[in-house]
Amino acid sequence: MIYNTIQAKEAPSNTKGAIHWLKENLFSSILNSILTIMAFYLLYMIIPPLINWMIIDATWSGSKEEITKDGARWIFIKEKFHHFVYGFYPEEFYYRPNLALVLTFLYIYIFRKTNNKNIRYFIFFSYPIIIYTLVAGGFGLEHIETHKWGGLLLTIVVATVGIIVSFPIGIILALGRASNMPIIRTLSTIYIEFFRGVPLITILFMSSVVLPLFFPSELEFDKLLRAIIGITLFQAAYIAEVVRGGLQAIPKGQYEAADSLNLPYWKSMGFVILPQALKISIPNIVGSFISLFKDTTLLLIIGLFDLLAMVGLTSTDSNWLGFETEGYVFVALVYWAFCFSMSRYAKTLEVKFNTDNK
């Protein structure tokens, strides 16, 4: 028998094309049509004035006295850009945080490319020391006090340290809470519930206002360090709960399988349970990291100037009064860029670790 392949027919003309798409998606019913029109009207109300303000009527260069246009005055950002990025970090040492950033990317690149364990260990342990030395000083580099750090630099330092340190602590707490040993379980639960039950602002206040009262005056405990410790402890509690959620989603069979291989506790966790649990918690973990990144702005209530607080501070310069709006718009864009890239990165991780047999 001979089979004739029949060419697929083109879709009927009333089910394709732009008009059909519009009909199907935007005007499928009266209610939808009304909503569509309202949404377009809203966009029409918002977007043209916004573009006008941000781009067409904006002042991009020149001095403050020469402003003639009504739109955004981006010269403020230009003038204070170095403060937004570095705070009061001495200008001649800007290369140090810059170098630290470049090194970070280099390290990550090597870390992911190499298969040599020793190189990985070396990178893992030398990284914090090198970065700290570069940014804060030591080993012959001039010491830069932390109260001079600010802006994006401070935001990144606090967020990165908070994220990196809180992650292992969080995992241990999660394992502790899921443990069979009553004392460890109780302690972990108390810790988690305590830090989750207290607002971050309270913890920052405690660390900056109350703690110094208990120390003798000779002992100067760095304010930034105190804040970072507070944030890390706080974040660890949240990570713990996220990871615990992942642990609970692992079928009991996996635990039993690990046990039947006679794996000791840490190995069964490290090789069987945690890789799966962490994988399913990626979206939530990244979610809480993103919220930590944004929570760093709370540092402003203890007098540390992160990116957002820097806007408030720089717009009190009596020569540049009244430029808050431009500053806040700029900062919003920076935050968006960071948070969006974090969320995209999480997406690639999810795809990479996806082992589902689909």
Partner 1 sequence: MKFVRMILGFVLFTTLTTTLVFSGTLENVKKRGKLNCGVSGGLAGFSAPDSSGKWKGLDVDMCRAVAAAVFGNAKKVKFISLTAKERFTALQSGEIDVLARNTTWTATRDTSLGLNFAGVNYYDGQGFLVSKKLGVKSALELNGASVCIQAGTTSELNLADYFRTNGMKYKTLTYDTSAQSRQGFESGRCDILTSDASQLYALKSQLKKPNSAVVLPEIISKEPLGPVVRQGDDVWFNIVKWSHIAMLNAEELGVTSKNVKKMAKGKNPAIQRLLGTSGDAGKNLHLDKKWAYNIIKEVGNYGESFERNVGLNTPLKIARGLNALWKDGGLQYGPPVR
Question: By C-alpha distance, which of 161, 128, 299, 289 is closest to 227?
Answer: 299
Place of tokens 């602002």: 201
Handedness of CA 298, 299, 301, 305 (dihedral sign): negative
| Residue placing its CB nearer to partner 1 in the complex, 157 or 304 | 304
- Using CA atoms of 260, 263, 265, 270 in order, give the dihedral in degrees to the nearest 10: -110
**Interface contacts to partner 1, rule CB under 8 A:** 79-80, 82-83, 88, 91, 145, 147, 205, 208-210, 212-217, 220, 223, 300-303, 305, 309, 312-322, 324
| Residue placing its CB nearer to partner 1 in the complex, 75 or 258 | 75
Q: Inter-axis angle of helices 223-249 and 151-177, to 10 degrees?
A: 40
| Residue placing its CB nearer to partner 1 in the complex, 6 or 213 | 213
Q: Give min distance, CB of 87 to partner 1, in A.
A: 8
Give dist(CA 78, CA 70) in Å, integer.
Answer: 18
Q: Give min distance, CB of 56 to partner 1, in A.
A: 19
| Residue placing its CB nearer to partner 1 in the complex, 13 or 318 | 318
Q: Give min distance, CB of 319 to partner 1, in A.
A: 6
* Structure tokens that stand for 113 in this block: 């490319």
Give dist(CA 118, CA 355) in Å, integer.
Answer: 28
Q: Give min distance, CB of 268 to partner 1, in A.
A: 45
Q: Give min distance, CB of 318 to partner 1, in A.
A: 5
Helix, coil or strand: residue 306 = strand
Q: Which amino acid is at 242?
A: V
- What phi, psi does 43 have (nearest 5°)? -60, -40
Question: By C-alpha distance, which of 22, 6, 345, 34 is closest to 163?
Answer: 345
| Residue placing its CB nearer to partner 1 in the complex, 140 or 216 | 216
| Residue placing its CB nearer to partner 1 in the complex, 125 or 215 | 215
Q: Give min distance, CB of 83 to partner 1, in A.
A: 7
